[in-house]
Amino acid sequence: MKRSIPIFRIVEHLLASTVLIALIYDFWYFFTYKYFPQPFFYDMGDTWMDWFNPAFWSHMSGAYDSYLTIYPPLTYVILKMITWGPCYPGAEGGWSRECDVLGIISLHLVYVLCVVLTVRTMLKIDRRTALPRSLAISIGLPMMWGLDRGNVILITYIFMLLAYGPLLKSAWLRWLFAGLAVNMKVYLIGAIAAQLLHRRWRWAEGALIATVLIYLVTYAIFGSGTPIEIYYNITAYADGLVINNPLDIWMASTMLPLEQLTHSTVFPTLLVLGSNLTNLIEFVTPLVMHAAQAIIVMGAMACFIRPEVVPRTRMVVLSVGLAVMSTEVSGYTEIIVLLFTFMEPSRGFLRRYALLVSYVICIPFDINIDSLPPLVKDAFFFRTQVIVEYAVQIGPFIRPILTLSIPTSLALLTIIEVWQDIRLQGWAQRWRFRNDVPLLPWIEHPVGPAKAQTARDDRPMVPAPEPTQG
């Protein structure tokens, strides 16, 4: 009998096709108008500069006191090895990018490696959904935005995939890559902490030791980047968020820029939106963010109660999602959340919701809601000036909410699954939960299968009742 294809799998292929069609349109626009359409560009002169600006400081001193970088030393050690040093002394900015062919090649090789590892991971998890999910991640908006900016999130993505994905079996290698990931993006320490929810004490200890050792080695190599310097730069970066016009919300990863826009001293928010809508945004935005954070924390607590019910990769989604929704970074950070979300099976409403939203976020297209005056800009790729048409689009306002809803929905799913397991399975006679912390001190401890059988065999025999006469 021929088996039918599940409807949701067809939906996944259709959404992945939408991502591909949107990217084809973007390249058509690029070759026609000599620049990529929104939401890809903000300042076309900054193409790849998240790669070449820190690369400059990898060859020069002053990364932490002049550039005020928030990256640990590992980033600069890596960039120094994969960029061409003679292009950088006394040549900060665009000229270094023009000169450093090695840096351009290494950036795109890193991207190719991201794609290859993504495909291998998705094939290992589920060959039936590997094509649409690999396509969505590899050419979706967050990944392509990271490539357009040249951000080191691409290197971090590789480390996270190898540390927490299914490709490596060696715990030692996983610890190494987990430590490398934290030394690229500090907030990924939460992914290591999430392992404690599954009672992986040794794993977390090994990853933390690897993190410290990698930091010490790279600090000795680079020569700067003390924990105090990194801490002060991160806090200064977080406190320095200033949003003065709608374009500053460009590729936001959180709802913080929208809230900041209501306090702008330049953009007339009250005149444009009105006092009622402005007050509503000021009230609702922190309420939604704090509610989502609370749900994620409760999901983590639920996982700690019944770790065997929850996939380990889901806790990575929750930990990274909690970090990126709390501090504004940029839309490319979503690729790590999307990677581990796409490892979920397409089963149940909340999982399917998270998967659908992930596909929508990956679509490299946006809808204009208002136009702005055109500006003359320098097109980096074509070495010419072009007239750029800016627009206020719907994506910057709804994309942060959609991004926030992914870990929130999976946290709700975790709470529901844990509650159902406790309600249906109880605690006693559940030997697989023998290492769990009981909900209350007087809860009966699980009994092993052999002991349970012995206890049943030792029970006194009760004579069967005499049959009654009918």
Q: What tokens does 320 get? A: 């990274």
Q: Is residue 460 part of a domain?
A: no
Q: Is residue 451 part of a domain?
A: no
Rounded to two decimals, what is the model's pTM? 0.86
Q: What tokens does 234 get? A: 């991160």
Q: Which residues, 6+ apart, have CB-to-CB distance to 279 below 8 Å? A: none
Q: Is residue 450 part of a domain?
A: no
d(CA 142, CA 419): 34
Domain count within the chain: 1
Q: Is residue 2 part of a domain?
A: no
Q: Which residues, 6+ apart, have CB-to-CB distance to 190 below 8 Å? A: 319, 320, 322, 323
In the beta sheet, which residues pair with residue 385?
378
d(CA 218, CA 80): 12
Q: Is residue 126 part of a domain?
A: yes
d(CA 402, CA 7): 23
C-alpha pair distances (Å), 108 with each of 46, 74, 78, 135, 147: 16, 19, 15, 17, 8
83 in Cβ contact with 55 (< 8 Å): yes
Q: What tokens does 136 get? A: 């969505």
Residuewise pLDDT in 10s, the chain (470 residues): 455 678 999 999 999 999 999 999 999 999 998 888 888 877 777 888 889 989 999 988 888 988 889 899 999 999 999 999 888 876 566 778 888 899 999 999 999 999 999 999 999 999 999 999 999 999 999 999 999 999 999 999 999 999 999 999 999 999 999 999 999 999 999 999 999 998 888 899 999 999 999 999 999 999 999 999 999 988 887 766 666 666 667 777 777 777 777 666 666 555 556 666 677 777 788 888 889 999 999 999 999 888 888 999 999 999 999 988 877 777 788 999 999 999 999 999 999 999 999 999 999 998 888 777 888 887 788 777 888 888 878 888 888 889 999 999 999 999 999 988 877 765 555 555 556 555 555 555 666 655 545 444 444 444 444 544 43
Give the range of the structural domain holding residue 413, as residue numbers without chain letter: 7-439
Tokens 């996270």 correspond to 160
Q: Is residue 456 part of a domain?
A: no
Name the DSSP letter for residue 384. E
